[in-house]
Structure 1
Amino acid sequence: MSVTAVAAMARPTPMVRLPEGDFMPFFQESAGKGKARVAPAPLPMQAFRLDVFPVTNGQFLDFVRQHPEWRRSRIKPLFADHHYLAKWRSDLELPDAGAATEPVTNVSWFAAEAYCEAQGQRLPTTEQWEYALADQGRKQNEIAQQSLDWFSSPNPKRLSAVGRGAPNGYGVHDLVGLVWEWTLDFSSFMTGTEQRNTSSKDDAAFCGSGSIGVSDATDYPAFMRYALRSSLKANYTVENVGFRCEGDE
């Protein structure tokens, strides 16, 4: 592979603008214990930019070259567990040339957010990510079926390159079917901040009565997405979890 080709793979992912609009969030705000359920209400979303593709190994390799503290041999256990970049041969060596176009995985939330910050961006919030997937209601049955087919299949030994599937209506690729993705507030929906006292928190949006506080109790793929996010800790590095970045308009 030529130097030019390798350099091209390390360039930041192009971004697409998602317009402002109304979005029906999956988890709904509760009126509190003993009160009538609040009717589902749309959430106004401001316009933002989102990476067209998940971040690749080639792009993350360029990042760790420039930021040595995020190399595999130097990462602190506080910021990543021992599976960090486990598929790479070494700090600065991918499994092979083809891996450069595949989504980077085995990266912690800390590492993903550090990458995005280095680009002058951040991880998308969960609602921004879900807004992109909702795609103004376009092809939602198809997306749900694609998600279910993906959930029912074992993890492949090797991920495909990013961008091989068709984009959605916003021009975003690979939101389902390739890798799960970190979000900025990944753990804020299905766990409480204080588990010893449940009388003062909003219980309708949590595990015990999760179907009560959602906008569509039949949306199994959404339950799976939120459950997967809630099972993670920020230093976890999972072989099928990657990320993409979000930026202000």
Structure 2
Amino acid sequence: MEMITIPAGEVTLSDRRTERSWTVGIASFLLAPVPVTASETSRFPRVDVSWLDAIRFCNALSEREGLTPAYEVDEDVKWDVAANGFRLPSEAEWEHACRAGTTGPRYGPLDEVAWYRENSAESVHEVGGKAPNAWGLHDMLGNVWEWCWDVYDAEVYGEYRVLRGGGWFDEHWSCRASVRRRSHPTFRVDDVGFRLARTL
């Protein structure tokens, strides 16, 4: 499976709701150039997938490839940060990879890099159809929202997890590198998918 090496760096995350920002250091890691597709022969992203579905997919693929699964799934899900198996990116990793060294809201003109409400005909599109960012990653903005590992805000939203990137049904303002969305880990909908990462 093709994976792109994302260089180490630092990213400042922000939350509009709480008006809070925080800086996170990022170690180099691997990230897939496109979201996971519906099958090995399909170019359409896998959607209607919950956070828990994505976690289980990562573990199953890791076992198939002879890698150490990243997650222990019991009543709670625990991440073995030393495991070499497939996993979801952290929220900080996702934004660092999306920005690819840029500092603006997007890594290119929106119509060139993303499927969103104004150009998607209100439907999902094949992955890789828009221009990549400087690190070779496609669809980081638009097409489907992507699950990240992180809890959004445990004090307010409990176990809700972070979604990033915007989707085919979203307005332009949702398709920005800094936008955060949240949902329950069992939530499934037709504009949410995920992308694979691995620890180096």
* TM-score, normalised by the number of residues in structure 1: 0.54
Q: Structure 1 residues 108 and 194, CA, compared in 2 at 3 Å: closer, same or farther?
A: closer
Task: Please state which structure has a larger fraction of its residues in strand.
Answer: 2
Contact 2:99 2:107 in 1 (8 A): no
Q: Structure 1 residues 132 and 146, CA, compared in 2 at 3 Å: closer, same or farther?
A: farther
Please give the alpha-carbon distance, in whole angstroms, between the structure 2 residues aligned to 1:111 and 1:129: 19
For 1:182, give the aligned amino acid: W
1:248 aligns with 2:199: yes
Aligned partner of 1:33 in structure 2 is: none
- Aligned structure 1 segments of 4 or more residues deviating by more than 6 angstroms: none
For 2:143, give the aligned amino acid: L
Contact 2:95 2:177 in 1 (8 A): no
Task: Please state which structure has a larger fraction of its residues in helix.
Answer: 1
Aligned partner of 2:12 in structure 1 is: 24
Q: 1:102 aligns with which of 19, 26, 44?
A: 44
Aligned partner of 2:86 in structure 1 is: 121
Please give the root-mean-square deviation of Cα atoms over the aligned residues, in Å: 3.4
Higher relative contact order (CA 8 A, sep 6+): 1
Please give the alpha-carbon distance, in whole angstroms, between the structure 2 residues aligned to 1:142 and 1:45: 19
CA deviation profile, 1:22-48 (whole Å, cap 9, x unmatched): 2222249x9xxxxxx99x664321111
CA deviation profile, 1:30-72 (whole Å, cap 9, x unmatched): 9xxxxxx99x66432111110111000114xxxxxxxxxxxxx
Please give the alpha-carbon distance, in whole angstroms, between the structure 2 residues aligned to 1:234 and 1:184: 10
* TM-score, normalised by the number of residues in structure 2: 0.66
Please give the alpha-carbon distance, in whole angstroms, between the structure 2 residues aligned to 1:220 and 1:238: 17
Find the structure with the greater CA-based Rg.
1
| 1:87-166 correspondence runs (5 A) | 100-118=42-60, 119=62, 120-137=85-102, 140-141=105-106, 143=108, 145-146=110-111, 152-153=117-118, 156=121, 158-166=123-131
Please give the alpha-carbon distance, in whole angstroms, between the structure 2 residues aligned to 1:141 and 1:134: 7
| 1:26-105 correspondence runs (5 A) | 26-27=14-15, 42-59=23-40, 100-105=42-47
Please give the alpha-carbon distance, in whole angstroms, between the structure 2 residues aligned to 1:45 and 1:103: 26
1:225 aligns with 2:179: yes
Displacement, 1:106? 0.3
1:193 aligns with 2:144: no
Please give the alpha-carbon distance, in whole angstroms, between the structure 2 residues aligned to 1:102 and 1:132: 21
Q: Which secondary structure does the structure 2 equivalent of 1:165 belong to?
A: coil
Displacement, 1:141? 4.9
Gaps of 5+ in 2: 63-84, 158-172
Matched pairs, number: 161
